[in-house]
């Protein structure tokens, strides 16, 4: 009597595996988009004021998001259970973006991306502490290893330029807060609604400094670069949200570190930059600790 259930279980397992693979593929596409965003940002901000680049990035992202969301949801996209959380998320993302763009002015794309990739380690640690869960010695060691890799990349020596290199560390903290809030909001808020509000809140906030930051842009390649930033940002965020809707976070986390490879490729193509030996050690340490942290989370989830 139990034999007919076997094909059903096999089909169910195959469906789960297919969704997991789809989630991984979407995540890989998302981090590739983020690498394009960072590489293009570093190029464009050499000729366009940083605050103007932030504004253009959000405006184009908001327009792309609206064009994708409104035909599907209409005005229902405005329905929300907590407008305050959306505004807070938008503010946090603006802070993250300004810190990221500022960091890219003083750091190569690959090294910058590696430092930002310590965020999942910090998020895991903070989430566990905020929820009162036990944090193993191994996980603490992985977090310490990730930040040791960051210290190797930054290597502050006390001069003015080196202290500017601490910007990515502030970025990691702000990004961790952003991701923790996003994780909380996914329990009650629609993905498209979250993306819509975040994009337009960011655009509104970034428009304020334009009175002082605006400069005429006449070169078509700069406008195309600004447009690419917005499209890559919007596509990356939507692809990532879709990925997390198909696969568990613990399964996806190890693949986040492919962004470092994409970023190093972009830095080599656009700026002919290859990290030095110490930076490669730091990048490798961050990637190893981050991947190990993701695999540890996956292992712990399977034990439950």
Whose tokens are 């076997």? That residue is 6
Sign of CA dihedral 149, 34, 243, 171: positive
Listed by start position, the domains of the chain span 37-303
Quick one: pLDDT band at residue 140, thresholds 50, 70, 90?
confident
Q: Which residues contact 267 (CB under 8 A, 6 or more apart)?
A: 39, 108, 109, 110, 273, 274
3-state secondary structure the chain: CCCCHHHHHHHHHHHHHHHHHHHHHHHHHHHHHHHHHHHHHHHHCCCCCHHHHHHHHHHHHHHHHHHHHHHHHHHHHHCCCCHHHHHHHHHHHHHHHHHHHHHHCCCCHHHHHHHHCCHHHHHHHHHHHHCCCCCCHHHHHHHHHHHHHHHHHHCCCCCHHHHHCCHHHHHHHHHHHHHHHHHHHCCCCCHHHHHHHHHHHHHHHHHCCHHHHCCCCCCHHHHHHHHHHHHHHHHHHHHHHHHHHHCCHHHHHHHHHHHHHHHHHHHHHHHCCCCCHHHHHHHHHHHHHHHHHHHHHHHHHHHC
pLDDT number for residue 287: 83
Per cent of the chain over pLDDT 90 is 5
Provide the mean pLDDT of the chain.
79
Give CA–CA dist 216/170, Å, rounded.
31
Give CA–CA dist 12/14, Å, rounded.
5
- Joined tokens for residue 53: 């680049």
What is the tens place of the pLDDT at every residue in 47-76? Answer: 888 888 888 888 888 888 888 888 888 888
What is the tens place of the pLDDT at every residue in 246-302? Answer: 776 667 777 788 888 888 888 888 888 888 888 888 888 888 887 787 777 666 666
pLDDT number for residue 135: 65
- Residue 107 pLDDT > 70, yes or no? yes
The answer to whether the CB of 202 falls within 8 A of the CB of 88 is no
What is the tens place of the pLDDT at every residue in 207-224? Answer: 988 888 788 888 888 889
- Joined tokens for residue 7: 């094909």
- Residue 2 pLDDT > 60, yes or no? no
């Amino acid at each position: 009597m139990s034999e007919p259930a076997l094909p059903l279980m096999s089909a169910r397992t195959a469906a789960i595996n297919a969704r997991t693979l789809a989630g991984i593929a979407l995540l890989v596409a998302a981090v590739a988009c983020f690498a394009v965003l960072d590489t293009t940002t570093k190029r464009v901000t050499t000729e366009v004021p940083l605050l103007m680049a932030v504004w253009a990035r959000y405006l184009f992202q908001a327009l792309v998001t609206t064009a994708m969301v409104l035909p599907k949801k209409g005005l229902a996209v405005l329905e929300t259970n907590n407008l305050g959380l959306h505004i807070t998320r938008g503010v946090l993302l603006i802070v993250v973006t300004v810190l990221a763009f500022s960091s890219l002015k003083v750091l190569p794309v690959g090294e910058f991306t590696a430092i930002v990739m310590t965020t999942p380690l910090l998020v895991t640690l903070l989430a566990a502490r905020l929820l009162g869960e036990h944090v193993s010695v191994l996980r603490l060691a992985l977090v310490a290893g990730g930040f040791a890799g960051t210290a190797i990349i930054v290597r502050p020596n006390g001069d003015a330029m080196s202290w500017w290199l601490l910007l990515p560390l502030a970025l990691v903290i702000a990004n961790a807060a952003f991701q923790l809030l996003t994780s909380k909001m996914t329990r009650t808020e629609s993905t498209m609604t979250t993306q819509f509000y975040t994009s337009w809140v960011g655009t509104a906030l970034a428009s304020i400094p334009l009175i002082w930051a605006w400069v005429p842009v006449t070169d078509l390649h700069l406008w195309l670069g600004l447009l690419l930033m917005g499209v890559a940002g919007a596509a990356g965020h939507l692809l990532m949200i879709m990925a997390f809707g198909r696969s568990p976070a613990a399964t996806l986390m190890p693949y986040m570190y492919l962004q470092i490879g994409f970023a190093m490729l972009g830095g080599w193509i656009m700026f002919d930059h290859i990290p030095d030996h110490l930076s490669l050690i730091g990048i490798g340490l961050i990637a190893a600790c981050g991947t190990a942290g993701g695999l540890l989370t996956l292992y712990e989830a399977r034990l439950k």
